[in-house]
Amino acid sequence: MTYRRSGAASVVLNVGGARYSLSRELLKDFPLRRVSRLHGCRSERDVLEVCDDYDRERNEYFFDRHSEAFGFILLYVRGHGKLRFAPRMCELSFYNEMIYWGLEGAHLEYCCQRRLDDRMSDTYTFYTAEEPGALGRDEARPGGAEAAPSRRWLERMRRTFEEPTSSLAAQILASVSVVFVIVSMVVLCASTLPDWRAAAADNRSLDDRSRIIEAICIGWFTAECIVRFIVSKNKCEFVKRPLNIIDLLAITPYYISVLMTVFTGENSQLQRAGVTLRVLRMMRIFWVIKLARHFIGLQTLGLTLKRCYREMVMLLVFICVAMAIFSALSQLLEHGLDLETSNKDFASIPAACWWVIISMTTVGYGDMYPITMPGRILGGVCVVSGIVLLALPITFIYHSFVQCYHELKFRSARYSRSLSAEFLN
């Protein structure tokens, strides 16, 4: 069926009975992705893939969606206030409307984000903005039919390297990457053993073999990082991601140490360069964080720390305030009142801070302890206070951890279903 654009300068959007008139120029660069896609439609079939119905006579596009929610979203994209949930509307339903129109949870006000997280955690329901048919919808855009194969290939490559459960090839690639990480960690740890050093000093070939294994692992990590950078959608966003930064921190020291070895050597006369080389080699321990790409547990930990940074800062403030108070009191009781029988371990407030922190965390190394009766009473109060202060933010962090874990499990299960379908086909 042919699709003839009306000569009218404006179009009408009918969202659940509420009509909105927009100019065609505004439609082209409209902030909502679903609405802006109407400008690139070339046939009525393409239009019906974006909206639910189309009236050619009135030049009216009909969307069978919640009109009140769209009103809130429209006010937000026009710059009138902040995006909050519509009154008397389920948080999940409103979030579903946001995903439909092309927004994400990050556009919500922080208080509404917390409400949404709690709601999703209670119901174990999670949405994703990456719909399985996204590639098919891209073909409806101008030039999409020609560019679709290349986009599909790049998207498949990206998921192969970024999502270990997205395909069988991705699982094999992830397994190989894990093997290289384990091998590199074993070689790094073994190289610090005294027996290994003695054997390497007597047998030069052992040291050469370890360097070859190390170079192969670094070559794999470098090639993996370069390929992921090439197939990434947004190069700037790729560089800003924490895991990619960690990859760079793990790979770069090797090349720096090689260049320093080439230009300065590793003789005893260059002590400063030798220390720098040892520091750079120890930075390769960041390789172990690469396992976060392949294990949900590490991803859950990172996502929880990201979402609960306010609670973590609050916990740190609690500890710092308590440490300042108890260290000053303990120094006064153990050293400041009676100089003749004073406790030398509490000679200063900074020295007492160490005792306070190990007491509040209930570690108690025993390297320093109060000897006076007031000091021991203060120590008991310090331990109890530490337990209470540490327990206060734990509830928030625990709920966020559970929510992040179920969210990542849902995402992993989604890709596992696509993997099963690919295997069966």
- % of the chain surpassing 90 pLDDT: 7
pLDDT at position 133 is: 40
pLDDT digits (tens, 9 = 90+) for 165-177: 777 888 888 888 8
Residue 9: what are its φ and ψ, rounded to 5°? -80, -10
pLDDT value at 157 more than 50: yes
- Residue 138's pLDDT band, with cuts at 50, 70 and 90, is very low
Q: Are 38 and 61 in contact (CB under 8 A)?
A: yes
Average pLDDT over the chain reads: 78
Residue 86: what are its φ and ψ, rounded to 5°? -70, 140
pLDDT value at 2 more than 50: no
pLDDT value at 128 more than 70: no
pLDDT value at 44 more than 80: yes
For residues 259 and 179, which has the higher predicted lDDT (pLDDT)?
Answer: 179
pLDDT value at 381 more than 90: yes
pLDDT digits (tens, 9 = 90+) for 369-378: 888 888 899 9
Q: Are 242 and 292 in contact (CB under 8 A)?
A: no
Count of Cβ atoms closer than 10 Å to residue 282 Cβ: 12
pLDDT value at 37 more than 60: yes
For the entire predicted model, the pTM comes to 0.54
Structural domains in the chain, CATH included, are 9-127 (3.30.710.10), 162-293 (1.20.120.350), 299-414 (1.10.287.70)
301, two tokens: 């930990």
Exposed e or buried b for every residue in 331-343, given b needs 16+ CB within 10 A? bbbbbeeeeeebb
pLDDT digits (tens, 9 = 90+) for 139-151: 434 444 444 566 6
Mean pLDDT, range 326-342, rounded to an integer: 81
pLDDT digits (tens, 9 = 90+) for 5-35: 555 667 889 998 889 888 877 777 787 888 8
Among 81-85, 130-134, 339-343, 353-357, top mean pLDDT goes to 353-357
Q: Are 292 and 243 in contact (CB under 8 A)?
A: yes
Least confident of 97-111, 114-128, 266-280: 266-280
Pairing verdict, β 60-63 and 10-15: parallel
Pairing verdict, β 60-63 and 18-23: unpaired
pLDDT digits (tens, 9 = 90+) for 210-252: 888 888 888 888 888 888 888 887 788 888 887 788 788 778 8
Least confident of 124-138, 153-167, 188-202, 336-350: 124-138
Mean pLDDT, range 176-202, rounded to an integer: 82
pLDDT at position 266 is: 52
pLDDT value at 339 more than 60: yes
Distance, in Å, from the CA atom of 206 to the CA atom of 257, rounded to the nearest integer, reads: 19
Q: Please report, for residues 31, 49, 162, the alpha-carbon distance to residue 157 in angstroms, rounded to integers and kept in the order given.
A: 29, 26, 9
- % of the chain surpassing 70 pLDDT: 81
